[in-house]
Amino acid sequence: IHVSCLLFVIHPESPIDVVKVRLQLQRSNLIQRSSESATVNNSSTSFRSSSQPNRGMLRIAYHMAKDEGLGSFWAGISPALYRNATYSALRIGMYEPIRGFFSAYYQQSNSRETSIAQQPHEHQPIPFRVKVAAAILSGAMGALVGSPFELIKVRCQSGHYGYPGTIPALRSIVQHEGVSALWNGVMPNLVRASLLTASQLATYDESKSLIVSYTGLDRTSLLVQLSGAMLAGLVTTTVTSPADVVKTRMMNSRGGTGAVYVSSLGCLVTITKEEGLSVLFKGWVPNYARLGPQTVLSLLVYDYLRRLFGWEQI
């Protein structure tokens, strides 16, 4: 079900995602970094260095359209589809089953410490920490499986790599950088996915519960769902921004001995030292323009489809 939801919103959000990646890859010493980057020429890929000055979101979009054509806004669309079929489907599709498992375990453990007077069939609210734990685990599972496609998507969107397609990109990376390179940047990706799923799903879940408790509205009403989804989109963008920047920098960097960043922590230290703490929120505006509507649309459609199939909504 969630694959259907994400395929519904992936095409309109792709241009914003590309602009966001270009923003996050800008750095004050871009020319120096570019000169240090290795040049790889083979039949399937080439790394193209760039020495463009720092630009804002609109100037990046303008120069992309002028220099690379409108097609550049849909760079990485193929790996994005593979990514959504793995990462996105797992991180949201596994949330409810994991939450149910954790909730049952929590209530069973809690019942041992309370009076037996409580009836076992009574519905107990699921604690927020249980929702967060379930979201973190489902997010990490999705990121671990979908990380290779996320890496290819970022590289295609950066404009530095000339991969002709997703499968050729997989072959090229394995051949020239090794199998482990497919999971380059997996740690910040795991952190980002865990934070994203926790802030998105747990916030959506909990905010709906709070809205219902304060207003008395039906949990399945459109107003409750829309309010919860809008709040979740805002929280998600802000919480995940630092990890998203580190992930993008790591994945765009080639692996091996010539790697610019040797670890996630090293990348974090380097970029904040050279560019200041504000770099961690670089691309926030296009990221919110992408994640905000995506969160609202995907969660509303997902809840609707669950109700349509007779399943309990989030």
With bands split at pLDDT 50, 70 and 90, how would you rate the model's confidence at 303? confident
Give the mean model confidence (pLDDT) for residues 159-177.
91
Q: How far apart are CA 2 and CA 25, in angstroms?
A: 30
pLDDT greater than 60 at residue 149: yes
Give the mean model confidence (pLDDT) for residues 97-124.
70
Mean pLDDT of the chain: 82
The reported pLDDT for the residue numbered 112 is 64
Q: Per mean pLDDT, which range of 53-62, 183-192, 227-236, 284-293 is the poorest?
A: 53-62
The reported pLDDT for the residue numbered 245 is 92
pLDDT greater than 60 at residue 119: no
Q: Give the pLDDT confidence of 195-208 residue by residue, as tens digits.
A: 999 888 889 988 99
Q: Are 236 and 193 in contact (CB under 8 A)?
A: no
The reported pLDDT for the residue numbered 141 is 95
Q: Closest Cα partner for 168 from 186, 158, 183, 156? A: 156
Q: Per mean pLDDT, which range of 40-49, 106-115, 241-250 is the poorest?
A: 40-49
Give the mean model confidence (pLDDT) for residues 216-244.
92
The reported pLDDT for the residue numbered 39 is 42
Q: Per mean pLDDT, which range of 16-20, 115-119, 223-227 is the poorest?
A: 115-119
Q: How far apart are CA 6 and CA 294, in angstroms?
A: 8
pLDDT greater than 70 at residue 46: no
The reported pLDDT for the residue numbered 174 is 95
What percent of the chain has a predicted confidence (pLDDT) above 70? 81
Give the mean model confidence (pLDDT) for residues 253-262.
68
With bands split at pLDDT 50, 70 and 90, how would you rate the model's confidence at 32? very low
Q: Are 5 and 297 in contact (CB under 8 A)?
A: yes
Q: How far apart are CA 296 and CA 303, in angstroms?
A: 11
Give the mean model confidence (pLDDT) for residues 56-74.
88
With bands split at pLDDT 50, 70 and 90, how would you rate the model's confidence at 251? confident
With bands split at pLDDT 50, 70 and 90, how would you rate the model's confidence at 107? confident
Residue whose tokens read 């004050």: 28
More confident residue, 113 or 87: 87
Task: Spell 271-287 as b/e; 16+ CB within 10 A means b.
Answer: bbeebeeebbbbbbbbb
The reported pLDDT for the residue numbered 126 is 83
Give the mean model confidence (pLDDT) for residues 98-118.
74
Give the mean model confidence (pLDDT) for residues 183-192.
91
The reported pLDDT for the residue numbered 280 is 93
Model-level pTM? 0.75
